[in-house]
Amino acid sequence: MTVDPSFLAKRRKPAFKLPPGATDAHCHVFGPGDKFPYAPNRRYTPEDAPKEMLRALHDYLGISRAVIVQASCHGIDNSAMMDCLASDPKRYRGVAIVDDTFTDKDFDKLHEGGVRGVRFNFIKHLGGTPDMDVFYKVIDRIKGRGWHVVLHLGGADIIPNMETIKKLPLTFVIDHMGRVPAKDGLDQAPFKALMELAKLDNCWIKVCGAERIDFPPYDKAVPIAHAIIEALPTRTMWGTDFPHPNASHEADEGELVDLLPKFADAAALQRVLVDNPARLYNFD
């Protein structure tokens, strides 16, 4: 597939030079819908953003590796994500969406294809709290595989789910800085709860999603990301969140890359961008 050059022309070429091995630990592929249909029960229908578009973006930004996170619009059909992983197994890893119908053989196939975790949405506009019976069955199935669970929470969802999260018997990764509203600062109750979870040895947090919790130029998101990296120097990752489904505004990934030097110093960013995701996702 040929990528429309105007797609990249709309994006800033970042001034910040990413280090070798820099990883986009949170991005998506959508469709193309005529090849990989969207789920019948989806809550939104995105514009197609296939693997060729994602690769072109990463090459443009200077990103070496990526973790493709299955999005809810594709449901439990992970075909588009798996197709992307298969296109460059050294460059890509995946996070799947599954349910309790998946067999050991299904999980084996996902693992062989580069999947290292599963994701559950707790966001209200994406359906709210998942079926917790399914949630616990899946956790029980993957906990011995060395996989992790990715939790997509809204800021208001953190406190009500604290006890559930604290009892998880495996590594968990919280998306998008917990989606705590940046305007409410570091003293808000959801952020304090997030920092309480950060004390757990099995907690990781992604400092992606500045565009989820703030508006350009994202100044209010900076202290939140900085505090998370300070609290979790070896268990923090970053991503572009391309192509930003259900976003409140059109985000420029170049601008998001240029936020990184405001988040932390070079040594910390080496861990966040390269070392931490390489360890969690078994990149060479």
Identify whether 241 is a catalytic site residue.
yes
Question: Which one of the listed residues 24, 157, 175, 241 is annotated catalytic?
Answer: 241
CA proximity to 52, closest of 14, 80, 25: 80
Judged by DSSP in three states, 2 sits in coil
Buried b (16+ CB within 10 A) or exposed e, 128-157: ebbeeeebeebbebbeebebbbbbbbbbeb
Half-sphere exposure of 190 (CA within 13 A, CB side): 20
CA proximity to 79, closest of 64, 65, 59, 96: 96
Q: Which residues neighbour 110 within 8 Å (Cβ) at sequence distance 6 or greater? A: 78, 82, 94, 96, 98
Q: What are phi and psi of 2, to 5 degrees?
A: -90, 130
Q: Is the sign of the CA dihedral 98, 169, 200, 261 positive or negative? A: negative
Cα–Cα dist 82/248, whole Å: 28
**With helix as H, strand as E and coil as C, how does 35-104 read?**
CCCCCCCCCCCCCCECHHHHHHHHHHHCCCEEEEECCHHHCCCCHHHHHHHHHCCCCEEEEECCCCCCCH
Cα–Cα dist 214/76, whole Å: 30
Q: Which residues have a catalytic role annotated?
A: 241
